Structure 1
Amino acid sequence: MIINTGNRTDIPAFFSEWFYNRIKEGFVLVRNPYHPEQITRYRLDPSVVDCLCFCTKNPEPMLERISELDDFRQLWYVTITPYGRDIEPFVPEYSKVIRSFQKLSQKKGKERVIWRYDPIFMTEKYDLQFHLEVFHEMAEKLKGYTKRCVISFIDLYEKTRRNFPQAERVMEKDRLEIGKAFVRIGEENGIRIMTCCEGNELEPYGADCGGCMTQEVIEEAIGEYLKVPAQKKNIREGCRCLLGADIGVYNTCGHGCLYCYANYDRESVEFNRKYHDRRSPLLIGHLNRGEIVKEARQESYVDYQLRLF
């Protein structure tokens, strides 16, 4: 099975000590975000966890102890975007994240560390030329440290419209120009451009529109073929990714990005984070008396009859 840490919050950036405690104890408890009374226990055991998938804007807090994860197969998605404090108030500046990305790649290998440049949006400040210039700069610095870059354009969810009212959908002509230029820049730097839930409109320019966390991508990262049972319904229409069990909690990410879909507002984040205990098996809070924990059904998908390497 796949354990995912990043659809609901940024565990590496803000909860790394808690995560390493969970690895040490060998299990984690997760509340269902829509039915909080339902609690699931997942074993964090490499015999049943085929891949730990991380999504983060700042892997630096994980790096000092990352050898503690050596028994696990891993795949890292690191988002590096060029926006300032006006959009991403608490994200480290991108030059620092690039250095952390480089260190992570050196430790884990470029097949296991994927760059995300998303969401892409345009304003008077962050215009087309800005994106083309900064993406080119970043790609040159990440050359040799990754083989893939995932891009997507901003989705205007209700939360996003409320917290980022000046955001507008990127027009088709700009999407095509960005896609065409990014593919060319990627090719110059040995980086394959992939899209996330963007349909196939960039495929004619050479982008991989098959999904960003697909079975193929995971297999390449872990060096094993997977025999996956019937896939569950994806969380987003048009998503082709092999999503696993997410152990994060919504409304807990501290980056404060205006475009965030996982946080309702800053007040909710600050309230929830007061209840974080690095020693608890739950990311936020503790088990209440009488609550029932259900053991997850976990099995490895690795097909040992086929070897990738």
Structure 2
Amino acid sequence: MILSVSRRTDIPRWYSEWLLRRLRAGEVLVRNPYRPGQLRRVPLSPAVVDAIVFWTKDPAPLLPWLDELDGMGYRYLFQFTLTPYGPEIEPGLRDKRAIVETFQVLGCRLGRGRVLWRYDPILFTDAIGLAWHEARFRKLCKALSPFTDQVTVSFLDPYPGRPMGGLRPPNALEMQELAAMLGQTAKEYHLSIVACCEAGDFSPHGIGRAACIDRARLERLCGGPLRLGADRGQRPGCGCCESVDIGAYDTCPSGCRYCYANRSPARTAARRAEHAPDGPLLTGVPSPGDTVTDLPACSCRDGQLRLF
């Protein structure tokens, strides 16, 4: 089983203590975001969890726990989003110079193949255009390329009912111009570059299609073949293999203006207030009417399914 931690919220940044408590306990409850009365009990033994994929904009709070993770026998890698936007777009993050240093520390510890850089979403405003991105992408490539071997890019996706407040995606021509710049710059810094869930073809610029939860990379991490199918629950164009996500929507207080995972600051604050570091759920508690289903405890190592 591949554990996704998490597409729905930034667990390394905001909930590291809770995560470590759940790993020590050996299980976690996850509420179905679309059927709230349904819970899944997910086993977390290292014998069952083949690898953990962390998604984060700032894993600094998790770094002190990495020795314990290693000692418990977990294999893991990071999808690390680092953009040049300031607090007017990403208000809840630390100064980006400090986050760059965290990226470098993590890359030194884990190696280039386990800390994967995400430069996304790419967006435009009245003040942010192609030249703005070109200068800042190059600067980040210079700072990060010794510590990662890949950069993933994507363009802003407006979500229905969510005001963008002056943020906009590049148009088709702008995307191609950006792709040419991104591909050439990544090549100069010896970075593989891939695009996540994009309908356009950017291969003429050296940009491949992303598999953010990538079976080949995970097999290298695990030291052998994994029996993993495609993740059919993701957006069109997603190349990820299947995983189990243990996060919850409306729980990340970073406040990024483009975020799809939070409906409103008020709801996020209310959900975060229900968080308990020692709770079995990321937020809230099981209700008497909830249905709890045990997820089968299985590893996908060695090319065959093994039940424990």
Q: Structure 1-normalised TM-score?
A: 0.93
Structure 2 distance, partners of 1:183, 1:97, is 24
> Is contact 2:123–2:155 with CA below 8 Å preserved after alignment?
yes
Question: What's the counterpart of residue 124 of structure 2?
Answer: 122
Question: What's the counterpart of residue 208 of structure 1?
Answer: 208
* Structure 2 residue ranges without an equivalent (≥5): none
Number of matched pairs: 302
Question: What's the counterpart of residue 65 of structure 1?
Answer: 65
Matches within 5 A, 1:11-30: 11-30=11-30
CA RMSD of aligned residues (A): 1.6
| Cα deviation, residue 237, structure 1 | 1.4
| Cα deviation, residue 232, structure 1 | 4.6
Question: What's the counterpart of residue 240 of structure 1?
Answer: 239
Question: What's the counterpart of residue 83 of structure 2?
Answer: 81
* Structure 1 residue ranges without an equivalent (≥5): none
Percent same amino acid among aligned pairs? 36
| Cα deviation, residue 302, structure 1 | 1.5
Q: Deviations over 1:12-59 (max 9, x none)?
A: 000011011111111111011111111111111111111111100001
Question: What's the counterpart of residue 98 of structure 1?
Answer: 100
> Is contact 2:232–2:242 with CA below 8 Å preserved after alignment?
no
Letter in 2 for 1:41: R
Q: Deviations over 1:262-291 (max 9, x none)?
A: 000101100101100000011001223354
**Pairing partner for 2:160 from 133, 158, 162:** 158
Q: Residues 220, 149 of structure 1: CA spacing in aligned structure 2 closer, same or farther, 3 A cutoff?
A: farther
> Is contact 2:275–2:283 with CA below 8 Å preserved after alignment?
yes
Per the alignment, in what secondary structure is the counterpart of residue 40 of structure 1?
A: strand
Structure 2 distance, partners of 1:232, 1:130, is 35
1:295 maps to 2:294: yes
Matches within 5 A, 1:42-57: 42-57=42-57
Letter in 2 for 1:279: D
> Is contact 1:105–1:112 with CA below 8 Å preserved after alignment?
yes
After the TM superposition, which of the residue ranges 95-104 and 259-268 deviates more from structure 2? Answer: 95-104
Q: Deviations over 1:40-86 (max 9, x none)?
A: 11111111111111100001000011111111111201100111111
Structure 1 distance, partners of 2:271, 2:284, is 8
> Is contact 2:80–2:115 with CA below 8 Å preserved after alignment?
yes
**Pairing partner for 1:147 from 146, 149, 168:** 149
Question: What's the counterpart of residue 108 of structure 1?
Answer: 110
Letter in 1 for 2:18: W
Letter in 1 for 2:166: Q
Letter in 1 for 2:82: I
Matches within 5 A, 1:274-293: 274-289=273-288, 291-293=290-292
Letter in 1 for 2:267: S
**Pairing partner for 1:138 from 134, 137, 140:** 140
| Cα deviation, residue 179, structure 1 | 1.3
Structure 2 distance, partners of 1:304, 1:216, is 13
Q: Structure 2-normalised TM-score?
A: 0.93
Per the alignment, in what secondary structure is the counterpart of residue 302 of structure 1?
A: coil
Q: Residues 220, 132 of structure 1: CA spacing in aligned structure 2 closer, same or farther, 3 A cutoff?
A: farther
> Is contact 2:209–2:239 with CA below 8 Å preserved after alignment?
no
Per the alignment, in what secondary structure is the counterpart of residue 63 of structure 1?
A: helix
Structure 1 distance, partners of 2:275, 2:232, is 30
